[in-house]
Chain A
Amino acid sequence: MMDMPKKMLRAAFGETLVELGEEMPEIVVLDADISSSLKTGGFAKRFPERHINVGAAEQNLIMNAAGLATTGLIPLACTYATFSSMRACEQVRSFICYPNLNVKIISTHGGIEVGWDGPTHQAIEDVAIMRAFPNMTVIVPADAISTAALIRQAVRHSGPVYFRMGRNPAPIIYDPSQPFELGKAVTVRAGADVTLVAMGIMVSIGLEAADRLAAEGITAAVLDMHTVKPLDGDTLLAAARRTRAVVTLEDHNIIGGLGSAVAEYLAEHEPTPVIRIGVRDTFAESGDPVELFRKYRMDADYVVKAARNALAMRDRLEKIP
């Protein structure tokens, strides 16, 4: 994984945004002072009349987007995940989701992958919060290729969308020809023994773990659940029925995010052992992301262990000798 070419998801977002601005005159981009982080500069330069910078005022950012959406425009409200999901939480809930307005909330700096900036800027709750809002669609792309493809679908989807990216360059795992469909998980790798369900940066870590498991003779399916809500229950169910053991991978608190979504679905449809990998209900710290992932047990080594544990749990439950 480490030697794969990498690219920032937000860079791919910014590039695609300029193309979308050309194709869709109704797109308006709103920033809250950190346009350099969100990579919206290309759009702002090309379409200054459709770019609004509200300054450091995230509640105002979301409310302006709500007002703009009522005039038939498609606003993209761009800021860090901590701010859009928590500082402006009620604005997103009551003024975007409740009236079902066509606003896309574009967030970066999701997860402890943010690294050096520390816990104030590492959003580990945002997916849980956004997932709890009726009418909200939650998208967490895994690499630059899927970011470009999914943002195109997000702006054409009618209704609120939360689009979550990380901060750092991430391994490019997809070929540009890979098709993506909102609400449809990608089976990045097929496998019969255990299913790894991942979102965002954790898809590449899941692939790294799958490589190591393969060396032990364990074939792991890797699902990229890029749309966390609505969850692709069909693909999840098929994989869970085949492997009977599931591990979820998210750069997010294990409470309320992808792991919860998967466990909820399987508990109601196909009770299956599930082990959740993610931030274990704690605030992390500043540091190099690779070191943080190791310390907080979210690296490939730990995924391998969790996969073995999931298999043991399955065998115990199903009394396989």
Chain B
Amino acid sequence: MYTNGLLDRLKRKANQIRQESIRMTHTAGSGHPGGSLSEADILSALYFHVMKIDPSNPGWPSRDRFILSKGHACPGLYAALALRGYFPVEELATFRQINSRLQGHPDMIKTPGVEMTAGPLGNGLAAGAGMAQGALITGWDFRTYVLIGDGDMQEGCTWEAAMLAGHKKLANLICIYDYNRSQVDGPISEIVDTAPVAEKWRAFNWAVREIDGHAMAEIVEAFAWAQRNTDQPSLILAHTIKGKGVSFMENQVAWHGTAPNAEQAEQALAELAQESLA
């Protein structure tokens, strides 16, 4: 259904997002690489295929919106925005430093392409519900995509928004759950498990599709499915691996909010470069 050319291109972009995320967190000496690597394939599909956007006209009223509710994983988002042309890739080196447009958590005023300030978990979906209703009131034709993580699933406001969106049948609202099953203090199975996930969202009147969040064909197909839904909001339950693509980071909770040192960054970038050649 999708050409290998498209999927290969999106995979390459995901790989670049991962490499930039490693460089950014290493250069900054802080930040969140684990979640940036787990979401990279989803961000690649959104920014390089799915979303109707124009980096040269970031204020275009009918553009699709993306909210990174798990705002700590903004290295991935900033990399996607830079690679898509919202600002120079070189600017990624200023991440988390004074006078930078790239704050430690997303700032919608400072950073071109960031649609909603984020970081405190559990709020992105509710902001997205507001945007989705804004589209209906203003008549501008756009969809709102919200990426949530395990922490968002544990916050109450996510469910307030899920209930509202289900009740109002906001079909122009698409939520993706980066289900990497780990949070700051450990695996969610040892903290507070979010399972069963699909059943929860279905009970809130959402359409649900479960995918491998690193299989590009499945990701692209899931967004096409979500866009065809006309009477329900859509939840894409994306099974992912925290730290995906870097052997020593995969499924290691410690890499939630730890920056790689020079040696680790070098090894990570070498592995990712190898993957992109393969």
Q: How many residues of chain A have a CB within 8 Å of chain B?
A: 28
Q: B64 an interface residue at 8 Å Cβ cutoff?
A: no
- Contact of A71 with B160 in the complex, beta carbons under 8 Å: no
Given the known inter-chain contacts A68-B134, A72-B138, A99-B108, please indicate yes or no for A63 contacting B117, CB distance below 8 A.
no
Within 8 A of A (CB), among B200-220: none
Contacting residues, chain B, for A120 (C-beta < 8 A): none
- Contact of A28 with B137 in the complex, beta carbons under 8 Å: yes
Q: Which of A15-23, A90-98, A263-271, A292-300 contacts B (4 or more CB under 8 A)?
A: A90-98
Given the known inter-chain contacts A28-B137, A100-B109, please indicate yes or no for A63 contacting B161, CB distance below 8 A.
yes
Q: A119 an interface residue at 8 Å Cβ cutoff?
A: no
A73 to B133, CA, bound (A): 11
- Contact of B120 with A63 in the complex, beta carbons under 8 Å: no
Given the known inter-chain contacts A52-B133, A60-B126, A67-B130, please indicate yes or no for A90 contacting B120, CB distance below 8 A.
yes
B145 to chain A: closest CB distance in Å? 13
Q: B156 an interface residue at 8 Å Cβ cutoff?
A: yes
- Contact of B115 with A94 in the complex, beta carbons under 8 Å: no
Question: What is the 8 Å Cβ interface bit string for chain B, positions 138-167, against chain A (1 contact, 0 not)?
Answer: 101000100000000000110011011000
- Contact of B164 with A66 in the complex, beta carbons under 8 Å: no
Q: A55 an interface residue at 8 Å Cβ cutoff?
A: yes
A57 to B129, CA, bound (A): 13
A78 to chain B: closest CB distance in Å? 15
Partner of A64, one of B119, B126, B138: B126
Q: B254 an interface residue at 8 Å Cβ cutoff?
A: no
- Contact of A73 with B123 in the complex, beta carbons under 8 Å: no
Q: B116 an interface residue at 8 Å Cβ cutoff?
A: yes
- Contact of A66 with B130 in the complex, beta carbons under 8 Å: yes
Interface centre among B122, B161, B163 (most CB of A within 10 A): B161
Q: A189 an interface residue at 8 Å Cβ cutoff?
A: no
Q: How many residues of chain B have a CB within 8 Å of chain A?
A: 32
Number of A-B contacts (CB under 8 A): 101
A86 to chain B: closest CB distance in Å? 15
- Contact of B130 with A72 in the complex, beta carbons under 8 Å: no
A216 to B116, CA, bound (A): 59
Contacting residues, chain B, for A64 (C-beta < 8 A): 126-127, 129-130, 133, 161, 164
Q: A234 an interface residue at 8 Å Cβ cutoff?
A: no
Q: B188 an interface residue at 8 Å Cβ cutoff?
A: no
Given the known inter-chain contacts A95-B117, A99-B108, please indicate yes or no for A63 contacting B157, CB distance below 8 A.
yes
Given the known inter-chain contacts A63-B161, A73-B138, A99-B109, please indicate yes or no for A91 contacting B123, CB distance below 8 A.
yes
- Contact of A72 with B61 in the complex, beta carbons under 8 Å: yes
Contacting residues, chain B, for A70 (C-beta < 8 A): 65, 108, 115-116, 127, 130-131, 134
A73 to B135, CA, bound (A): 10
Q: B107 an interface residue at 8 Å Cβ cutoff?
A: yes
Q: A248 an interface residue at 8 Å Cβ cutoff?
A: no
Would you mind naming 16 contact pairs between A and B with Cβ atoms under 8 Å apart? A52-B133, A57-B160, A57-B164, A64-B126, A64-B164, A66-B130, A67-B116, A67-B126, A67-B132, A68-B130, A70-B65, A70-B134, A71-B140, A72-B138, A73-B134, A94-B117
Q: Which residues of A come within 8 Å of B, CB atoms? A: 28, 49-50, 52, 54-55, 57, 59-60, 63-73, 75, 90-91, 94-95, 98-100
Q: Beyond A63-B126, A70-B108, list 17 extra A-B contacts (CB 8 Å).
A: A49-B137, A50-B137, A54-B164, A55-B164, A59-B122, A59-B156, A60-B164, A63-B129, A64-B127, A66-B127, A66-B130, A67-B128, A67-B131, A68-B134, A72-B61, A73-B134, A95-B116
